[in-house]
Structure 1
Amino acid sequence: MVKVLTSNDFIDNVENTKGVVVVDFSATWCGPCKMLGPVFEGVSNKLGDKAKFFKVDIDESGNIAQKYRISAVPTMIIFKDGVPVENLAGFMPEQNITNKVNAHL
């Protein structure tokens, strides 16, 4: 299950979390983001407890988007032990995202 994070939740759920966390930076007005939504949810369901999956709306939490230099959406960032280890820009098929996440588990 993918949870939407606000600026207040981000530090606790991403930066201060051990293990792998994947964050989808998106916007409600973004067509490719809407296409990625169900795919991202599918990867989350497939990997279960192996990694945590969150969404951040760049319009609602602009400070986080700015901190991680999000210049285009959708952008996914894979964090390991609170540190960004890989950026994935644009729409990607479920298997590609799964492979990228598995590489960091």
Structure 2
Amino acid sequence: MIRNATDSNFDELIAKGTVLVEFGASWCGPCRMLTPILEQLDRELSGRLEIFKVDVDVAGPLVVRFEVMSIPLLVLYQGGRPIERIHGFQSKEALLDLIRPHL
């Protein structure tokens, strides 16, 4: 299940394993298009990948900290460190290509 990350729990959530975070907003069309793809990946990669969402409208400090200039922004973390950043809507195949080498 995809959970929301906030200013208060973000560092704890990304600290272990491989984690994909989507910075987005409910009003963002490409973000809404990405949701079913992220849900599929969450089911298919359960136990190997955690997925979290950050609502840029309520997580201002995270937006500043990670220099989010456009959404959706997907950031792949491993052991708490960002290892990949990708902007805009992505297909499931493109996301798998990004994630697989890090699982």
Runs of 4+ in 1 over 2 A off after TM superposition: none
Q: 1:52 aligns with which of 42, 50, 53?
A: 50
Point out where structure 2 has 5 or more consecutive residues left out of the alignment.
Answer: none
**In the aligned structure 1, how far is the partner of 2:86 from the partner of 2:56?**
16
User: In structure 2, how many angstroms separate the alpha carbons of the residues matched to 1:57 and 1:43?
Assistant: 19
Deviations 1:40-74 (A, max 9, x none): 11111111110111000011101111111110000
TM-score by length of 2: 0.95
Any idea what the Cα deviations from partners look like across 1:5-38, whole Å, max 9, x if unmatched? Answer: 1111111111xx2211100000111111110111
CA RMSD of aligned residues (A): 0.9
The 3-state SS of whatever aligns with 1:100 is helix
Identity among equivalent positions (%) equals 32
Higher helix share: 1
Between 71-80 and 37-46, the greater mean CA deviation after superposition: 37-46
Q: Number of aligned pairs?
A: 103
Gapped runs of 5+ residues in structure 1? Answer: none
